[in-house]
Amino acid sequence: MLIKTINAILTVLAGVGAALVLYWVLNKLVELLPGKWEDRVKPYFYIAPAFAAIALYLIYPAIQTVVYSFANADSTAWVGLKNYSALLGSHSFRQTLFNTVLWIVVVPAATIILGLAIAVLADRLKPGSEKLAKTTIFLPMAISAVGAGTIWRFIYATNPPNEPQLGLQNAIVTGLGHDPVNWLQLNTLHFNSFELMVILLWAQVGFAMVLLSAAIKGVPTETLEAARIDGASELQIFGRVIVPQIWGTVITVFITVTIGVMKIFDIVYVMTNGNFNTNVVGVEFFNQLFTNFNNGYAAAIVVMLMLAVLPIMIYQVRHFRADEAVR
C-alpha cells in the first residue's frame, strides 16, 4: 500500500514536472529564433504538445477504427464493405438502429421539456422549497447508471404469479387484483425501450433543470416587467420573452443529451443486455467486440455512430461560435 502510494505521488510529480520541463524547453528553443519569428512561431510550439497528444490518442485510433471496419473479425484480411452490408442486412441490427433512433428522438426532447417545466415551476416557489425541490430532482444525477439500473430493477422486477412480488409496479398491479406484468419483456410498440428511457430521464432531468434554471434566472427582469405592462399573459411571456433569451442554453443541453443518448450503453446493458428487442448501438458494439471478438463488426458499428454524431458536433461548434460572436 505504502509503495503504491509513493509510486502514485512520484508519478504525479514526474508527470507535472515533465510537462513543465517540456514547455520550458520549447519556450527556450523558440527564444533562440530571431525576434519577429519568435512571435510568429511561439503559439504553434505551445499548442503542439496538446495537438500531438490528441492526434496520438484520438485521431490515430479513429483512423485505425475506420481501417478495421473494412477488415475481418480478427483484422487479418480485407473484406471490403462486407461488415457494413452484413450488419445493415440483418434484421436484428436494423431493430437495434431503430431502437437507437427512438432513444434519440424521445430522450433529448423529453429531457428539455421536463427540465424546463421543473425549472420554471421551481422558480416560482419560495427560496427554501425551491432549493429542496431542485436538490431532490438533481439527486439521481449522483447515481451511476449501473446503480440506477439496480434501483429500477426493483421497480420492474417480475415474479411468477402467486409468488410475492418484489417489483414495485407489479406489487401495485397485483394489489389491484391483476396478474403481474412482465415489464421488461413487453415489446408491443417497443414499450420496454420506453421503460428504459424513463431511467435515463430520471437520472438526467436534474442536469437539464440546473442549467436551464440558471439561464432563466439570468433573464433580465426588466424584459419580463415590460411584457407584463404591455399586457402579455404568463404563457406569452414564457414563450416569447423567456425562451428566446435562454435558447442558447436549450440548444447546448439538447445537444449534450443527444450525444450522450447516441452512446447509451450502461442502462440497457444492466437492465436487459439488449434482450427482448431493446438492443441499442452501444450495447451491440460492446457485445461484438468483447463477447464475439468481432473487430470488423464492432469497428463498422462505431464508424456508423461516428458519422451520425458528426453533423451534430459540427452544428454545436457553429452554434457555439455564433453565440461567442453575439457576446
Partner 1 sequence: MRGPILFKTVTVLGAAALLTSGCISSGSNGASGGGGGGNGNTSKNVEIMLGFSGAQLDDFKAEVDPYAKSQGITIKWSPTDNFNQLINTRVQGNNLPDIAMFPQPGILKDLASKGKLAPLDSVLDMSTLKSSMTSGTLEAGSLNGKLYGLLVSMNVKSLVYYPKKAFDSAGYKAPTSIPELLTLTNKIKADGKTPWCMGIESGPATGWPATDWFEDLIMKYGGIGQYNDWISHKIKFDSPLVKKAANTFQQIAFTPGNVSGGRKSISSNNFGTAGNPMFKSPPGCFLFKQGNFVAAKGFFPDSVIADIDNQVGVFGFPPASASGDNPVLGGGDLAGLFSKDNKAAQTILKYMSTSTFGAGDAKKGGYISPHKDFDLNNYPTETIKSIAKVAYGATAFGFDGSDAMPGAVGSGSFWKDMTAWISGQMSLDQALKDIDDSWPATS
Cβ-based nearer residue to partner 1, 100 or 272: 272
CB of 326 to partner 1, least distance (A): 45
Q: 33 phi and psi, to 5 degrees?
A: -70, 155
CB of 8 to partner 1, least distance (A): 10
CB of 264 to partner 1, least distance (A): 15
Residue numbers at the binding site for partner 1 (CB under 8 A): 3-4, 6-7, 10-11, 13-14, 17-18, 21, 24-25, 28, 72-74, 76-77, 92, 157-163, 182, 184-185, 187, 269-270, 272-277, 287, 291-294
CA-to-CA distance for 314 and 306, rounded, in angstroms?
A: 12
CB of 196 to partner 1, least distance (A): 14
Cβ-based nearer residue to partner 1, 73 or 141: 73
Q: Residues 261-280, buried b or exposed e (16+ Cβ, 10 A)? A: bbebebbbbbbbebeebbbb
CA-to-CA distance for 70 and 89, rounded, in angstroms?
A: 16
Cβ-based nearer residue to partner 1, 87 or 208: 87
Cβ-based nearer residue to partner 1, 127 or 160: 160
Q: Is there a contact between 87 and 80 (Cβ–Cβ < 8 Å)?
A: no
CA-to-CA distance for 165 and 176, rounded, in angstroms?
A: 13
Cβ-based nearer residue to partner 1, 122 or 281: 281
Residue 187: strand, helix, or coil: coil
CB of 146 to partner 1, least distance (A): 10
CA-to-CA distance for 89 and 95, rounded, in angstroms?
A: 11
CA-to-CA distance for 278 and 131, rounded, in angstroms?
A: 37
- DSSP letters of 83-151? HHHHHHHSHHHHHHHHHHHHHHHHHHHHHHHHHHHHHHHHHTS-HHHHHHHHHHHHGGGGS-HHHHHHH
CB of 248 to partner 1, least distance (A): 40
Q: Is there a contact between 99 and 284 (Cβ–Cβ < 8 Å)?
A: no
CB of 297 to partner 1, least distance (A): 10
Cβ-based nearer residue to partner 1, 108 or 274: 274
Cβ-based nearer residue to partner 1, 44 or 293: 293
Cβ-based nearer residue to partner 1, 261 or 268: 268
CB of 158 to partner 1, least distance (A): 4
187-191: Cβ within 8 A, 24+ apart: 187/276, 187/277, 187/278, 190/98, 190/99, 190/102, 190/277, 190/278
